[in-house]
Amino acid sequence: MKYREIKVNRAQCKKCGDIITSYNRHDFCFCQCRAIAVDGGNDYLRRIGTEDDIVELSEFEDVEEYGENDDSVAD
User: Is it the case that residue 67 has pLDDT exceeding 70?
Assistant: no
- Averaged pLDDT of the chain: 90
Residue range(s) defining the domain that contains residue 45? 2-64
Over residues 26-49, the mean pLDDT reads 96
Output the pLDDT for position 70: 55
Domains in the chain, number: 1
C-alpha–C-alpha distance, residues 53 and 16, integer Å: 9
Q: Is the pLDDT of residue 3 over 90?
A: no
| CA-angle at 30, arms to 15 and 48, nearest 5° | 80
Q: Flag whether pLDDT at 74 surpasses 70.
A: no
Residue 61 has pLDDT above 60, yes or no: yes
